[in-house]
Structure 1
């Protein structure tokens, strides 16, 4: 996957389609590891774009939506999934680790730390 195709894939994951990361959460039908793996792969492939002096606004918006809405919807005690008792403790733990690693990788890539550090703590979904 080219970096440009990966950026499109990340933007897809910020959308409502059931195969997308945010679409998997709303409406919630359970955490699907293949969705997490696809999103991680897209982030790895898009890494060169995040290390540029300027990052395209649509890509940044998608990354922030995934991180922020993922946490707000699934991990916050008053969020829609916990508040409605839709998500198990195991799924919360999986998403918490994934989103922590995803956000850290995005930070490292934007900060110029590099791909080796960005993905060293990424938890395999």
Structure 2
């Protein structure tokens, strides 16, 4: 099982252009959420600049987090990474489908859940 401590190192390995914070306690839920929101910002920046498709390993890593992650890892990815990404795409005029096309089956299911929730609560 993938634990909270493994989340950011796994994403960093999959997306070498991301620079994680140096002093983060990944066991702390809020710090992990914050770091995942930084990952979200990085990924949305890459997509905005047309470079996200050059980082295919990050989508494999996200999928791995959903398949092999402990329950709190899956929750952190959904709320920390996907919710943050969804909020950011609105400002960058990126459609949820653009991100969805890059995701693998398990992660896509959760991305669609976030998108559906956002649509029903007045978001994009």
Same fold (TM over 0.5): no
Name the one with the larger helix percent: 2
TM-score relative to the length of structure 2: 0.42
State the structure with more CA Rg. Answer: 1
Between the two structures, name the one with larger relative contact order (CA 8 Å, sep ≥ 6).
2
TM-score relative to the length of structure 1: 0.42
